[in-house]
Amino acid sequence: MTKPEILEKKPLSLVELKAALRSVKRRNEELSFRGGKTEEYVNQVVKITQKQANDLKKRIAALEIPRLKEEQITKIIDLLPRSVAELKIVLQGYTLTVTNDNMKKIVGVVNEAVPVKK
């Protein structure tokens, strides 16, 4: 049995996962059972495009909020919190303190970059 080697450890948003599954599907013509279930889930959950996700990631990183890491930014992109209360819920799983002003900035960027569809 082979022993896989981890080359890089990097957070992956659901939008990036969707693109990766698409490339695997093109390469192999078919996904495994788990891959198919993952693709089904991602297609239901992801509401933004790759371009919107990349733009949002750059804009949140440009805010230069202290101690906010790529992992938290990825989680924000996945869940798209629309209010400060929702953002607090997203970030409560991390040992991270963000001021209310910075939370308002993040929510403002999310709402501006990905408008709510009515």
Same domain, 57 and 107: yes
56: number of Cβ within 10 Å: 22
42: exposed, middle or buried (Cβ count in 10 Å: 0-12, 13-18, 19+): middle
Say whether both 79 and 38 belong to one domain: no
pLDDT at residue 4, as a whole number: 85
Query: Residues 76, 91: one domain?
Result: yes
Task: Give me the phi and psi of 83, to 5 degrees please.
Answer: -140, 165
pLDDT for res 89: 94
What's the predicted TM-score (pTM) here?
A: 0.86
Summarize pLDDT for 30-45 with one digit per residue, the tens: 889 999 999 999 999 9
- Would residue 36 count as lying in a domain? yes
Which residue is associated with the tokens 């900035």? 105
Percent of the chain with pLDDT over 90: 76
Provide the domain limits for residue 83: 50-113
Of the candidates 13, 115, 9, the one whose C-alpha atom is nearest the C-alpha of residue 73 is: 13
- Whether the per-residue pLDDT at 118 is higher than 70: the answer is no
> 54 with 104, same domain?
yes
Examine the domain organization and report whether 39 and 89 are in the same domain: no
Is 40 in the same domain as 55?
no
Co-location of 71 and 100 in the same domain = yes
- For residue range 51-93, list pLDDT tens digits in order: 999 999 999 999 999 999 999 999 999 999 999 999 999 999 8
